[in-house]
């Protein structure tokens, strides 16, 4: 299954690939070069397909648990001052996505969406310390009785040129459901209450909609 955000790009890429095959076959006379170019074009198409894949995830909804919003590797676990919404200290857990990861963003908790805002910005590499505040990004806050308010932030990276956010103000978020998409590599920051029990470690690989990031006691 492929994400709807990739349907147009996949179709355009397929047309380019088919056209390239005809051009290579008609213009390149060296057999090894012809086969090599065709394989390279095919590999490129496969990479596009895998980037926009949208595998089904088995989310076990639990109001006391916050799940990873994306696939990737945990690169930050620290207490920080969150300046956009809360204006106080929170535990930040950041997950970095390589171009090979699934790039669907999912709601970490279920509840009411009380904040959703897009910010234009730069395209610093996703692991840059200032990326969270200076890069193109979206900020969404979901709240429920167990966690109170949980903020997650989609952050564009050096390759990501478009962030898609489906979260709309005052609508209902379903834990693990599709909340957006980041095209071509980036990261997501999750801001949790200070009394949340963090269940992941640095450099741990996580799966969106399945891996437990934190739990409320």
Q: What would the pLDDT profile of 42-55 be if each residue is shown by its tens digit?
A: 888 887 787 777 78
DSSP string, 112-134: EEEEEEEE--B---TTSTTHHHH
What mean pLDDT comes out for the span 105-128?
83
Residue spans of the domains in the chain: they are: 4-51, 65-215
Q: Is 20 a catalytic residue?
A: no
Over range 120-130, report the average pLDDT.
64
Per-residue confidence (pLDDT) for residue 39, from 0 to 100: 87
- Selecting among 116, 146, 186, 211, the annotated active-site residue is 186
What Rg do the C-alpha atoms of the chain give, in angstroms? Answer: 20
Its pTM surpasses 0.85: no
Of 193 and 39, which is predicted with more confidence? 193
126 has a pLDDT exceeding 60: no
Q: pLDDT band for position 209 (50/70/90)? A: very high
Decide: 142 and 108 in contact? Cβ < 8 Å: yes
Instruction: Name the pairing type of β-strands 205-206 and 72-82.
Output: antiparallel
Query: What top-level class would CATH report for the domain 65-215?
Result: mainly beta
More reliable by pLDDT, 148 or 128: 148
3-state secondary structure of 22: helix
Considering the chain, what is the average pLDDT of its residues?
Answer: 87
């Amino acid at each position: 299954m492929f994400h709807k955000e990739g349907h147009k790009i996949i179709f355009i890429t397929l047309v380019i690939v088919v056209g390239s095959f005809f051009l290579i076959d008609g213009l390149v006379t060296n057999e090894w070069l012809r086969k090599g170019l065709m394989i390279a074009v095919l590999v490129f198409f496969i990479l596009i397909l895998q980037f926009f894949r949208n595998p089904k995830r088995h989310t076990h909804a639990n109001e006391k648990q916050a799940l990873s919003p994306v696939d990737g590797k945990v690169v930050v676990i620290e207490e920080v001052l969150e300046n956009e919404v809360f204006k106080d200290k929170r535990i930040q857990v950041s997950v970095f996505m390589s171009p090979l990861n699934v790039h669907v963003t999912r709601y970490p908790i279920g509840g009411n969406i009380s904040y959703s805002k897009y910010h234009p910005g730069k395209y610093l590499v996703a692991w840059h310390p200032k990326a969270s505040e200076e890069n193109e990004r979206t900020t969404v806050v979901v709240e429920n009785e167990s966690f109170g308010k949980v903020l997650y932030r989609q952050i564009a990276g050096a390759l990501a040129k478009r962030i898609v956010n489906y979260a709309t103000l005052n609508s209902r978020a379903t834990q693990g459901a599709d909340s957006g998409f980041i095209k071509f590599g980036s990261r997501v920051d999750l801001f949790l209450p200070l009394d949340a029990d963090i269940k992941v470690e640095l450099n741990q690989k996580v799966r969106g909609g399945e891996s437990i990031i934190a739990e409320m006691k």
